[in-house]
Amino acid sequence: MSTTVPERTAAPTGRPSAVTPELAAASPAHRRARASRVKIWIGTVCTALVVLPVLLATVLPLPDPDAQELSARRLPPLTDGHLFGTDQLGRDLLARVLSGGQVSLTVGILAVLVSGLIGLTLGSLAGFLGGWTDAVASRLAEAQMALPLLMMLLLVVALFGSSIPVITAVIAVAQWPEVFRLTRSLVLVERGKPYIDAARTLGLGRPAIPVRHVVPNVVKPASLVVLLLLAQAVLLESALSYLGAGPERPFATWGRIVSDGQDYVTTSWWIATLPGLVIVLLVVGVNLLGDGLRDRPGGVGRPRFLGLGRKEATR
Q: Which of 171-175, 205-209, 232-236, 281-285 has the lowest mean pLDDT?
A: 205-209
Mean pLDDT of the chain: 82
Note the pLDDT of residue 211: 74
| High-pLDDT (> 70) share of the chain, % | 83
Of the listed ranges 19-23, 123-127, 176-180, 237-241, the least confidently predicted one is: 19-23
Mean pLDDT of 290-304: 65
Please write the tens of the pLDDT for every residue from 181-211.
Answer: 999 999 888 887 787 777 777 776 667 777 7
Fold (topology level) of 31-295: MetI-like fold (1.10.3720)
pTM of the model: 0.79
Q: What is the mean pLDDT of residues 45-62?
A: 92
* pLDDT value at 4 more than 60: no
Q: In terms of Cα–Cα distance, which of 63, 181, 70 is closest to 120? A: 181
